[in-house]
Each structure stands twice: as structure tokens, then as C-alpha cells.
């Protein structure tokens, strides 16, 4: 029991009310201590409560592996469709005027019926960008307005950034992150949901119905009506029972101590299950690529909140950066969470923003101090 006027501080001591600590991710913080959240928000501990700044951040939708989606509002679901689907667009109202549309093209990635995103089509005004086979291709359309955009390589990702506040980050394989400026909140639709901070209405079909079935929801967003509807969710580990134990053993890294710093910030369960699903399904070559992409998706979900994990090894999903080094030089290095000090002439001149791409893993140059700009 604490004497009158004092409170239990949760650590066996008694304190004045203004000295109460705050709790975050199972850690206690003293009054006046700060933590950083999402984009630029900070929270300060005051009298046992967090007082936080309220900057509005870009939203992120993730599509990875064989049909795994995380909507802008944070809802996880699986949808395996063999067709092209609208991932997100702002052509959503009755009169359907908008400025952009992003379409994912899915193809089978094994013999068990699961599909992976093979190509991403980005429509910006009268420009169509197709991301496929590790490259981007530009197609000029007949009509539409002009929309300014830039493309660049960041680590092992290709980043397309439109002046309208749309950013697409593609790993050149089966993972894509779509980022939208806060101005799009509540005015978009597609497989990534409607970005209105509520998960309950994320499954809104093309004809504005809120449904509970991911199949019904996903089918409504196919690009052409000639594609068959998806009627079942494949279970590759049941069709490939001999692969299940291999998949579970490999994917256990997500739940292991390697990622311990991430577990309290991002629940590993859904990513572990997706990893096992993908590792069972890739049975016609590319086994390791499916597994590595699944683990990388979990690793990428956490660095935005700042724990950084060196999980790759020479034996496990290695990335070789020596390939980029000139003879007898060692300028390029692997960075698991991006290179904070990596400045280029374009970022300094404001051609690219650094919004939310500073955490991407891959090969980065380390410039000498007397020539710091790449």
C-alpha cells in the first residue's frame, strides 16, 4: 500500500502523481521521456499518460507473396485471383472522375493454384507505367491530363513517385507497397481498402456494398469481366504435405529470437502463416525466393517503427552488393534498413522526397566524407 497522496509506480515504488511513468510496448518510460511514432509524430510522457503530436501521415498498403494484402487501415487478408485487379484508385464516386489507378496482374506461382503479383500497372493521367521483369515501361495513352512523376532505384526496390502524392515501391518480384498522401483519406477504393482509418468497411465492393467475404470483395475488383470468379481459397500445404515441415522449419525464423525486437510492435503470427503458405506453394522452382520474400515482408513491416534486424546471412537469402563495386573498391554495402546518410543530388535539389523510403533494404554506396553526395 502507498501512503496517502502517493501512487504505485508499477515497479514496487510509490511516487507523486506527476512522477507516474508511461507504458509502451511493455517498457516503462519516465515523465519527460519521448518516443517516436510513424512519420514525424512524437509522444511525451506526462503524469502517466502519453501526450502525442498529431501530424497526419502517408498511408501504406502492402501486397506481397501469393495474394497477401494489408490494407491502408491495417486489415490483413488473402485473395488468390488469376486475373488483373484494381489495387487502388480514386475513381470511386458516382460520376467516377479521378487522377490515378494502380492495377496488379496475378499469375500462378506453382502448381497448387496460388497466384503471385507478376506485373503492376500504374495509370497517372495519360501515362501508363508497367512494372514487370525487374523494369519499368512507359506507355503514353491517347487522352488524359499530364501528371509529373519520377522513377528511381532505392536499395533493391524501384520507387515511382507522382507529384499528386502517390508512391509505389516495388521489390521487382512479388512485393509492392503503395503509399498515399493524407489528402486521399476516404476517397479511394480497391483491394487496398478506402483509407478512412476504419477496418470494418475495407471490404467495399465496386458497387459500394460492404461485404464480409474476401472472395466476394476481391472478385468485384477484377479488371475484366471475362476473368473467372475465384470460388475457393487454395491450401497449398494440404496439396503438398511433404513440403509443410520444410516450410514450417524455414519460416520459424519469423517467430524466433532473431526478430524478438519486432514482436511487440508487429504481430508475427499472420506473417509466419503467410510464409508457410507461400513456401508450400512455390513448388515449380523459386522455392527460396518465395520464402525469402515472405520473411523480407515481415522485416520491412517493422523498420518504420525503428527496430532494425540483420536477418540475412551468407546461407539464408543473401544479397551480394560486391557486384556493384568498381575493381579494388568497396563502396557498395548491404543495409537492412536503408542508409540514413544516403544523399543524392536529386534529393538535395528536392526532385525526390525522402518520404517513407529511407528504410528500404538493399545495396547502398558509402561516400567518402570529402565527397558526401552520391
pLDDT over 80 (residue 39): no
Q: Give the mean pLDDT of the chain.
A: 86
Cβ neighbours of residue 27 closer than 8 Å, sequence gap 6 or more: none
What is the C-alpha separation between 288 and 243, in angstroms, rounded? 12
pLDDT over 80 (residue 254): yes
pLDDT over 90 (residue 357): no
What is the C-alpha separation between 312 and 191, in angstroms, rounded? 31
What is the per-residue pLDDT for 49? Answer: 92
What is the per-residue pLDDT for 304? Answer: 60
What is the per-residue pLDDT for 344? Answer: 80
Length of the chain: 374
What is the per-residue pLDDT for 321? Answer: 87
Q: Coil, strand, or helix at residue 355? A: coil
Other CB atoms within 10 A of residue 49 CB: 12
Which stretch, 7-16, 188-197, 365-374, has highest mean pLDDT? Answer: 188-197
What is the per-residue pLDDT for 285? Answer: 58
Cell numbers for 246: 520444410
Domain residue extents for the chain = 7-52, 59-220, 236-301
Percent of the chain surpassing pLDDT 70: 91
Task: Quote the crossing angle between the two packed helices 241-251 and 269-281, to the nearest 10°.
Answer: 140
What is the per-residue pLDDT for 120? Answer: 93
Give the pLDDT mean for 5-24: 88
Between 320 and 189, name the one with better pLDDT.
Answer: 189
pLDDT over 80 (residue 284): no
What is the per-residue pLDDT for 356? Answer: 57
What is the C-alpha separation between 243 and 122, in angstroms, rounded? 36
DSSP bridge pairs for 335: 362
Would you place residue 117 in the very low, low, confident or very high pLDDT band (cuts 50, 70, 90)?
A: low
pLDDT over 80 (residue 347): no
Min mean pLDDT across 1-15, 204-218, 244-258, 298-312 is at: 298-312
What is the per-residue pLDDT for 35? Answer: 87
DSSP bridge pairs for 88: 102
pLDDT, tens only, 202-243: 999 999 999 999 999 999 999 988 888 988 888 888 888 888
What is the C-alpha separation between 277 and 291, in angstroms, rounded? 9
What is the per-residue pLDDT for 303? Answer: 58
What is the per-residue pLDDT for 129? Answer: 94
pLDDT over 60 (residue 305): no
pLDDT, tens only, 129-176: 999 888 889 988 877 788 889 998 888 899 999 988 999 999 988 899
What is the per-residue pLDDT for 215? Answer: 94
pLDDT over 80 (residue 107): no
Is residue 237 within 8 A of residue 244, CB to CB? The reply is yes
pLDDT over 80 (residue 115): no
Cβ neighbours of residue 221 closer than 8 Å, sequence gap 6 or more: 85, 86, 190, 191, 205, 206
pLDDT over 80 (residue 290): yes
Backbone angles phi, psi at 270, to 5 degrees: -65, -35
pLDDT, tens only, 49-103: 999 998 888 899 999 988 899 999 999 999 988 889 999 999 897 766 788 999 9
Helix (H) or strand (E) holding 162: strand 157-162
Q: Coil, strand, or helix at residue 64? A: strand
Amino acid at each position: 500500500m502507498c501512503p496517502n497522496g502517493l501512487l504505485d509506480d508499477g515497479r514496487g515504488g510509490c511516487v507523486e502523481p506527476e512522477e507516474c511513468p508511461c507504458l509502451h510496448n511493455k517498457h516503462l518510460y519516465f515523465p519527460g521521456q519521448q518516443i517516436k511514432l510513424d512519420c514525424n509524430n512524437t509522444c511525451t510522457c506526462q503524469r502517466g499518460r502519453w501526450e502525442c503530436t498529431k501530424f497526419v501521415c502517408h498511408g501504406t498498403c502492402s501486397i506481397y507473396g501469393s495474394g497477401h494484402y494489408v490494407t491502408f487501415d491495417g486489415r490483413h487478408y488473402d485473395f488468390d485471383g488469376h486475373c488483373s485487379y484494381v489495387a487502388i484508385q480514386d475513381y470511386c464516386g458516382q460520376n467516377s472522375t479521378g487522377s490515378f489507378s494502380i492495377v496488379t496482374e496475378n499469375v500462378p506461382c506453382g502448381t497448387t493454384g496460388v497466384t503471385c503479383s507478376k506485373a503492376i500497372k500504374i495509370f497517372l493521367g495519360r501515362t501508363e507505367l508497367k512494372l514487370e521483369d525487374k523494369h519499368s515501361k512507359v506507355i503514353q495513352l491517347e487522352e488524359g491530363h499530364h501528371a509529373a512523376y519520377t522513377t528511381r532505384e532505392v536499395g533493391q526496390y524501384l520507387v515511382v513517385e507522382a507529384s499528386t502524392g502517390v508512391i509505389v515501391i516495388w521489390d521487382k518480384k512479388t512485393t509492392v507497397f503503395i503509399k498515399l498522401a493524407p489528402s486521399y483519406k476516404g476517397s479511394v477504393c480497391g483491394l487496398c481498402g478506402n483509407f478512412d482509418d476504419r477496418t470494418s468497411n475495407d471490404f467495399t465492393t465496386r458497387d459500394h456494398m460492404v461485404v464480409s467475404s474476401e472472395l466476394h470483395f476481391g472478385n468485384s475488383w477484377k479488371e475484366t469481366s471475362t476473368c473467372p470468379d475465384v470460388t475457393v481459397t487454395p491450401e497449398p500445404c494440404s496439396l503438398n504435405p511433404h513440403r509443410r515441415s520444410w516450410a514450417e522449419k524455414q519460416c520459424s525464423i519469423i517467430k524466433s529470437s532473431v526478430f524478438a525486437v519486432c514482436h511487440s510492435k508487429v504481430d508475427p503470427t499472420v506473417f509466419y502463416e503467410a510464409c508457410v503458405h507461400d513456401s508450400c506453394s512455390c513448388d515449380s522452382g523459386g522455392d527460396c525466393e518465395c520464402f525469402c520474400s515472405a520473411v523480407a515482408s515481415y522485416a520491412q513491416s517493422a523498420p518504420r517503427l525503428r527496430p532494425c534486424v540483420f536477418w540475412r546471412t551468407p546461407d539464408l537469402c543473401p544479397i551480394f552488393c560486391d557486384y556493384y563495386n568498381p575493381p579494388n573498391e568497396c563502396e557498395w554495402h548491404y543495409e537492412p534498413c536503408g542508409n540514413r546518410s544516403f544523399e543524392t543530388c536529386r534529393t538535395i535539389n528536392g526532385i525526390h522526397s525522402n518520404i517513407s523510403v529511407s528504410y528500404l533494404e538493399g545495396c547502398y554506396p558509402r561516400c567518402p566524407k570529402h565527397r558526401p553526395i552520391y
